[in-house]
Structure 1
Amino acid sequence: MADKDKKYNVLNASRLSVAPMMDWTDRHCRYLHRQLSRRALLYTEMVTAPALVRGGAVHLLDFDGAEHPVALQLGGSDPAELAQAARLGAGAGYGEVNLNVGCPSDRVQSGTFGAVLMKSPDLVAECCAAMIAAVPVPVTVKCRIGVDDQVPGDILPDFIARVAAAGVTRFSIHARMAWLDGLSPKENRDIPPLDYALVHRMKAEFPGLHLSVNGGVASLEQARGFLDAGLDGVMIGRAAYHQPAEILSAVDRVIFGATSPDTTAESAVQAMLPYTEAHLAGGGRLNQITRHMLGLFAGRPGARAWRRMLSEGAHRPGAGSDLIEAALAEVTTARAA
């Protein structure tokens, strides 16, 4: 795929994306999500630039070509190191490189990257400029609306303006503050109030930028509302992970205007079987895949049996794809009852 085609692909796909989520959006999760939506943009977990450049952990860049359109999220704060990491990512085939300026974990803070970088817009701009100069694919930023005692309405437009001046044209804005002193990372996903109005205000102030909203989006109807109100994209996190079929099965039709039939959880399970067999044949473990599949039938008859069978059996020695088929049979039986 030519670079210009990758850029076009991720730009259009960013109308609806699945957020990068640590310990969740690994390659197996993304492969599953791709069976449900052909068009949504998928993101890796955050991969740190030091791990790639100093640690040589290039295996973290592995992905299946079927995952496209897929973007790499990097964490770091050293411009030269991020440029080198971005080069590795683009070389591996990712269609976009995203800089994490939103993660509030202690580990990220100690490395002086993630949400704490909201306090250093000039450094973020320098990092982005270095990455833009290093790679032919788009460089984007995922940020918060502010951290700690910052006033979002004052600092966010300044942050966006400075980083945009470095050449960034796409931002995903998590519409919450990050309170780095006093809240855990989990609490930072729920307790700081959402300020969607500020994100809309940023779109009004920066009409030439592509802005996506993130945080608290729990349905396609809600996502559609943001797009209809003028935002360029919507990024969905936990809802897409915990209820993947509910969120992603109709995405191609509802968000992208596809005329093909919606996908189903059942069809996604069937598509995962050969992928699972290949993973097991390569020495992988079943639960590395099935842990991402637990919510496929959320809210449907048989969902409890599906989760129980996979949770209890996938970690056992010798567990194979036949366990997935047996769990699916439980769902089929429950639906017919």
Structure 2
Amino acid sequence: MDPQTTQRKIIHVDMDAFYASVEQMDNPELRGKPIAVGGGGTRGVVSAASYEARKFGVRSALSGVLARKYCPELIFVRPRFDRYKEISKKIRKIFLEYTDLVEPLSLDEAYLDVTYNKKGNPSATLIAQEIRKRIFEEVGLTASAGISVNKFIAKVASDYNKPNGQKTVNPDEVIAFLEELPIKKFYGVGKVTTEKMYQLGIFTGADLKLKPIEFLEKHFGKSGSYYYNIVRGIHHSEVRPERTAKSVATEHTFRENLTSEIFMLEKLETIAAELENRLKRYNIAGKTVTLKIKYSDFSLQTRSKTLPYFISDRSLLFDAAKELLFQEKMKESVRLLGISLNNLNNEDRKTPVAVQLKFEF
């Protein structure tokens, strides 16, 4: 363990089924029932599911049709992002009463560095309990928390006693905790990587720890050193209240699949215009344009082009996206299109910008 790492006290707070819980809080008739926030039609996608719905296998990103098949009694609710943002601001205000080192990951989760906190409380565990209690009393929702010496372990721990629970991994427990951890529970190890690790005989943290860094880099590239370090409890990433945007993106999921490139171009013009508005709002430009395509079979493809100059104008964004669209033949009908811009001119600025999603219902 790195001495500096063990000195830090990090909390990861994760709201429980946030969007769905807000809907159940605001509408008593939905309480105790399986609900999904999102679209239930043929093109609908689940954005969030209540715990009652999760018992049937309903999860975020599941198609509305499949979700209804899993749970015939499922109730679909349209998302209200303005309301979710309103609640999120109240929760963040509570966080800031304990520390200024708050790094939001989304509307419903954040890291807090409470090593030196405003309350002078030496116990991160007690701070997490107090924060969760206040969220429940002042907002009306439950939250879970993970507490440990770095962001990675805190993130993993917050999922352990969900919903409405918390888990602390003390410095002297870190190694044992990571060795016993199933590899699929490691934050940053997705389904594809999990399957690859299984094929290599890696099922737990202990198995991962046995592999030398050369082996991991051979099979996982740059991620190999990341896996080598995290299983040893080494993760130096600090809690950053403001994060420099590495990319700005806008994408649309369509009600019906697009089969004509003419219709796709129409959608890309709209997306480029929305992206231009976001870029101008933050006074950002970039050089690398990426076109994101999700097909009807849910397979994903990205195509990128780097320009010799910075752009933010909608016409230039559209021209680059159009060129990428015709770069190769489409293999299926399209359900989602997106344009992102990275290689930005904001290296000296801190601008919290994320992808803007738009769903059609």
Bigger Rg over Cα: 2
- Tell me the TM-score range normalised by the shorter chain: 0.3 to 0.5
Instruction: Decide which structure has greater strand share.
Output: 2
Query: Which structure is higher in helix share?
Result: 1
